Chains A and B, each alone.
Chain A
Amino acid sequence: MKKRQLLITYLVTIILIYGLWYVLSLLLGSNLLPDPFVVLRQGVLELDKAPFWSHVGLSLYRILAGLFFGFILAVPIGLFLGSNERFDRLFAPLIYLGYPIPKIVLMPIIFVLFGLGDMGKIVLITMIIFFQLLITTRDSARKISKEVIYSLQSLGGNRWHFYRHVVWPISLPGIFTSLRIGTGTAVAVLFFVESIATRKGLGFYIIDAWGRADYSTMFVGIIALSCIGIILYEVFDLLERKLCKWKNI
């Protein structure tokens, strides 16, 4: 999608959501659902406050760290397993057993092991992202045809060339899809882990405002958290367009 078209789509969607929100706030009453223009005004006020940015910064750091560690752990393993049938068969039961376990239920154990600070939260996000990325990367790497492998070998390519020029590029679109899906999951998990035993982060900011029945501030937090998700989603989309040009022509 062209930049201009994308911008228009976003603008139209935002206006539609705001319009729907406004109608609902009139129907339900502003105590339950605040007027979007009140939230907008509150948002502008919050943007001027340093504590708001400190919540945003910390949430962003936790998400990015979780995505980063999930990526550097899952992608190499996924690429290796996807291109090595024997090892893939060996580790498949472990992955199939590990993937369906809802990692969020391990939160108490993770917090005991890694503490209630940033480390515990990042580890939990990493764990959830890890399996999503691992499976998508492995499945993408499995798509390599015999023809491509024979071509590479006959041209004098070695193991390193195989990973650099075949496995990595063939897996990249799948990795980006997984990162985009993972971003949504990471934001949801972040909200959950930041609502417990912490006084920093957008999760806390939302829960705290909710506790004080300050709904307009609560909605500012929700919008800020959503913006983080949308920006990361678009960044991954942009990176995919740059790095996988062959897919988009």
Chain B
Amino acid sequence: MSNSLLCVESLSKYFPGLNKPKKVLEDVSFTLSSWDSLAIMGPSGCGKTTLLLIIAGLLQSSRGSITIDGEPINGPTRKIGLVLQEYGLFPWKTVEANILLGARFQKLKIPEKRLSEFKSVLGIEGLDHLYPHQLSGGQRQRVALARALILRPALLLLDEPFAAIDAITRERLQDRLLAVFGHRQFSFIIVTHNIEEAIFLGKRILILNNKACGLCTILENPGVGDLHYRTKPGFFELSTRLRNLLEGLD
């Protein structure tokens, strides 16, 4: 545990209910190392996004502990970046202003070289002066990724980041994410409903169970990182196993 980047222990979350508190997460525990990836899956309402928001320091847990680099997470921290399903871009700011927003808030100077490098890797050059509504869904998502990654977080949290994007663009974005992941030393946790996405991106796959409100299973996924993984037999085997597991939860 000592060399873990993220350590989640016995995490529970209750929301106020009419008669009694509503359980969303119960006794969830897992760890994440440096340069590691984890995909979180589970039926709707099982607390995937809640878990992500707690890790991001945006929601308080009801019980349990959560640390990053051994330090408890009590609020948003520079070590953790967040990309949301609806991108969370500010419509009134240009692409460049959106990307540099975190740096501006934190009074950081981003070297021009790093900025250009990110734009190039994510394929968003030449969009600087456009506004988010002038971009396609895929471009918006890449801008959101650039905005989070430019601050060099140790951990990137992605909440269904490619959910609203067509299948081909989604696969391209997954490839780009892996390409950035290959160059940069960061870990990521991705919440997704898409079985193929979870297998392609997560070194481990955590399945949350909404009946038990807690951790159900962690699947190891050794094939991850290979850009041709989607066509390998191991991919299909894991896909079938995962599908069966998820059907059992519904």
Residues in B whose Cβ lies below 8 Å from that of A156: 76, 78, 102, 105-106, 151
- Interface of chain A residues 134 through 172 with chain B (CB within 8 A): 145, 147-148, 150-158, 161, 165-166, 169-170, 172
The answer to whether A151 touches B76 (Cβ under 8 A) is no
The answer to whether B92 touches A169 (Cβ under 8 A) is yes
Q: Does A246 reach chain B (CB closer than 8 Å)?
A: yes
Taking the closest CB of chain B, its distance from the CB of A95, in whole angstroms, is: 26
Complex CA distance for A245 and B91, rounded to whole angstroms: 10
The answer to whether B92 touches A244 (Cβ under 8 A) is yes
Contacting residue for A147 out of B57, B86, B131, CB 8 A: B86
Residues in A whose Cβ lies below 8 Å from that of B216: none
A-B contact count (CB 8 A): 66
Task: State the interface size on chain B (CB cutoff 8 A).
Answer: 29
The answer to whether B92 touches A170 (Cβ under 8 A) is yes
Which residue of B is nearest A150, CB measured?
B58
Taking the closest CB of chain A, its distance from the CB of B157, in whole angstroms, is: 8
Q: Does B68 reach chain A (CB closer than 8 Å)?
A: no
Which residue of A is nearest B97, CB measured?
A165
Complex CA distance for A102 and B62, rounded to whole angstroms: 50
The answer to whether B76 touches A246 (Cβ under 8 A) is no
Which residue of A is nearest B132, CB measured?
A246
Task: State the interface size on chain A (CB cutoff 8 A).
Answer: 23
Complex CA distance for A189 and B198, rounded to whole angstroms: 64
- Interface of chain B residues 85 through 124 with chain A (CB within 8 A): 85-93, 101-102, 105-106
Residues in B whose Cβ lies below 8 Å from that of A151: 82, 84, 88-90
Interface residues, chain B, CB within 8 Å of chain A? 53, 56-58, 76, 78, 80-82, 84-93, 101-102, 105-106, 131, 133-134, 147-148, 151
Interface residues, chain A, CB within 8 Å of chain B? 145, 147-148, 150-158, 161, 165-166, 169-170, 172, 244-247, 249
